[in-house]
Amino acid sequence: MVTANILIVDDDRDVLETARMFLKQEFTNIHIEDTPQKIPSLLKAKEYDVVLLDMNFKKGVNDGEEGFYWLDQILKSDANAVVILITAYGEVDLAVKAMKNGAVDFVLKPWKNQKLLATIMAAIQLRQSRKEVERLRNTQESLTDVIDQPFVDFIGASPAIQRIHEIIDRVADTDANILILGENGTGKELVARAIHRKSRRKNAVFISVDLGSISESLFESELFGHVRGAFTDARLDKPGRFEIASSGTIFLDEIGNISLPLQSKLLTVLQHRKIQRVGSNTEIPVDFRLICATNMNLHEMVYEKKFRQDLLYRMNTVEIRVPSLRERPEDISLLVDYFVRRYSVKYKRPGMKVDRAVVNRLKKYHWPGNIRELQHAVERAVILNEGKVIQSPELLINSSGASPKKDIGHLTMDEMEKQFIQQSLQDHDGNVSNTARTLGMTRTALYRRMKKHGIG
């Protein structure tokens, strides 16, 4: 006995009773109806896995128009409805036409019981597949909303941020490749996700890839996928990030960190929009929107022959520069209020706020870690502050940065980053995992930066 709700609509009571007597031996619920005008109310009252629908209901009429009409009404009520037509031999052409309009199959009167049973079983499986696809689509949309939640608010009222919003609005609905430039912690991924959410691909996936955390040996496998047996641990076929991102957006963060040979392989994918899984010669078409980001000067790297010029041209149809936090101090007050509200809820500390004098002090700090540093500073202050009002600047600014903004004009970005990493490691007693977590990066990415700056 198969659990299924089946509705049979036919004006011939003998046909209905014959079908009901046979099918009730195989399925749990069989409903018969000889009046098609009752179909809308029946569909509102119950969800049917399969509807068997006669093509003609008036005596002497065999043009199938009634069948076409009620098929359309059923599909309007439930786009995933599975409808099997009941038709006479001479109406096969009409049934084929109806299948083009959304019916899934037809059975001829008089039918053979086993043929009818097989047709209904196949239809039930189709219905289950359609429901599963719908469930997965809804799940994906819900998960996307949840995943995007921390990235929803791109806070700022400064002219620089308003300009970025304007660019996002202009480019989002195109498929232009975007290159986002800016220091670490400025919100480059926020910009990328904002573009995706406003694009035609917003209902498809957004795949974020931190290229700085993928080793060179795993680059092809991670981005292009592999087939079973391609290497020692390849026990199953696995799609790569480009394949998964097809129909959606792929965000390649830290694009400036990949080697020249890998740049060449990436360029090939961008040119041909096809990938080959490692261990396979089969080309797989991929359709994605590309957004890249880096904190490095790619134009200077091109001059130094560390980055391919043709890849840079391919990536940056539109270039967006995200300003550092010290370039937009007028936004600090908004950001502080936002993070205080967020962490007050998270840590059940309602009503917390930051004293305005402290906020003014924060505006004079140079924030080498940008918004990410400010976010962690506010979170720490919300946790440690004893009262409702945060009045101690030291809770928000590490001792190394407690003084007002210093003259940093003589420091390069690399020198500033080195100082910041050294101080962060010192604050965490040399614990790399805790430091990386505080800085909002992976251990691998932190180790790479430590190596770059010669920090042992």
pLDDT of residue 138: 64
On whether both 113 and 165 belong to a single domain, the answer is no
> Per-residue pLDDT averaged across 202-228, rounded?
89
Tokens of 214: 């993928």
Q: What is the pLDDT of residues 382-412, one digit of tens each?
A: 988 888 999 888 778 864 344 334 444 445 6
Residue indicated by tokens 């190596």: 451
pLDDT of residue 215: 87
On whether both 182 and 285 belong to a single domain, the answer is yes
145 lies in some domain:
no
Q: Tell me which of 136, 171, 199 is where a domain ends.
A: 136
For residue 313, give the nearest of 296, 292, 295 by alpha carbon.
292
Q: What is the pLDDT of residues 257-289, one digit of tens each?
A: 999 999 999 999 999 999 999 998 889 999 999
- Mean pLDDT rounded to a whole number for the chain: 86
Give the count of beta carbons closer than 10 Å to the beta carbon of residue 231: 12
Tokens of 220: 């092809």
123 lies in some domain:
yes
The CATH number that applies at residue 40 is 3.40.50.2300
The CATH number that applies at residue 435 is 1.10.10.60
Q: What is the pLDDT of residues 37-89, one digit of tens each?
A: 999 999 988 889 999 999 888 776 667 788 889 999 999 888 889 999 888 76
Q: What is the pLDDT of residues 171-194, one digit of tens each?
A: 999 999 999 999 999 999 999 999
Specify the higher pLDDT residue, 413 or 340: 340
What is the number of domains present in the chain? 4
141 lies in some domain:
no
pLDDT of residue 98: 81
198 lies in some domain:
yes
On whether both 77 and 118 belong to a single domain, the answer is yes
433 contacts: CB under 8 Å, gap ≥ 6: 443
143 lies in some domain:
no
Specify the higher pLDDT residue, 22 or 404: 22
44 lies in some domain:
yes
On whether both 120 and 42 belong to a single domain, the answer is yes
401 contacts: CB under 8 Å, gap ≥ 6: 365, 366, 368, 423
Q: How far apart are the first and last CA of the chain?
A: 69
Q: What is the pTM of this model?
A: 0.61
pLDDT of residue 36: 92
Q: Tell me which of 136, 167, 184 is where a domain ends.
A: 136
On whether both 160 and 123 belong to a single domain, the answer is no
pLDDT of residue 144: 57
For residue 40, cis peptide bond before it (omega within 30 degrees of 0): no
pLDDT of residue 303: 93
Give the count of beta carbons closer than 10 Å to the beta carbon of residue 297: 14
Q: What is the pLDDT of residues 76-129, one digit of tens each?
A: 888 889 999 888 766 778 778 888 889 999 888 888 899 999 999 999 999 988
On whether both 251 and 380 belong to a single domain, the answer is no
Range of the domain at 400: 324-406
Q: What is the pLDDT of residues 138-158, one digit of tens each?
A: 666 655 555 555 445 678 889
- Length of the chain counted residue by residue: 456
Least confident of 3-12, 232-241, 410-419: 410-419
Share of the chain above pLDDT 70, in %: 90
pLDDT of residue 142: 56
pLDDT of residue 238: 86
For residue 191, give the nearest of 318, 333, 58, 291 by alpha carbon.
291
223 lies in some domain:
yes
Please give, one letter per residue, the 3-state secondary structure of the chain: CEEEEEEEECCCHHHHHHHHHHHCCCEEEEEEECCHHHHHHHHHHCCCCEEEEECCCCCCCCCCHHHHHHHHHHHHHCCCCCEEEEEEHHHHHHHHHHHHCCCCEEEEECCCHHHHHHHHHHHHHHHHHHHHHHHHHHHHHHHHHHHHHHHCCCCCCCHHHHHHHHHHHHHCCCCCCEEEECCCCCCHHHHHHHHHHCCCCCCCCEEEEEHHHCCHHHHHHHHHEECCCCCCCCCCCEECHHHHCCCCEEEEECHHHCCHHHHHHHHHHHHHCEEECECCCCEEECCCEEEEEECCCHHHHHHCCCCCHHHHHHHCCEEEECCCHHHCHHHHHHHHHHHHHHHHHHCCCCCCEECHHHHHHHCCCCCCCHHHHHHHHHHHHHHHCCCCEECCHHHCCCHHHCCCCCCCCCCCHHHHHHHHHHHHHHHCCCCHHHHHHHHCCCHHHHHHHHHHHCCC
Q: How far apart (Å, rounded) are the C-alpha atoms in residues 334 and 376?
A: 15
On whether both 308 and 330 belong to a single domain, the answer is no
On whether both 309 and 331 belong to a single domain, the answer is no
Q: How far apart (Å, rounded) are the C-alpha atoms in residues 179 and 188?
A: 10
400 lies in some domain:
yes
On whether both 167 and 314 belong to a single domain, the answer is yes
On whether both 78 and 17 belong to a single domain, the answer is yes
The CATH number that applies at residue 384 is 1.10.8.60
Q: How far apart (Å, rounded) are the C-alpha atoms in residues 265 and 384?
A: 49
For residue 335, give the nearest of 325, 349, 321 by alpha carbon.
325
Q: How far apart (Å, rounded) are the C-alpha atoms in residues 405 and 451?
A: 28
Tokens of 317: 């149809």
The CATH number that applies at residue 165 is 3.40.50.300
On whether both 423 and 390 belong to a single domain, the answer is no
pLDDT of residue 410: 47
On whether both 333 and 304 belong to a single domain, the answer is no
Residues 55, 90 contacting (CB under 8 angstroms): no
Give the count of beta carbons closer than 10 Å to the beta carbon of residue 435: 21
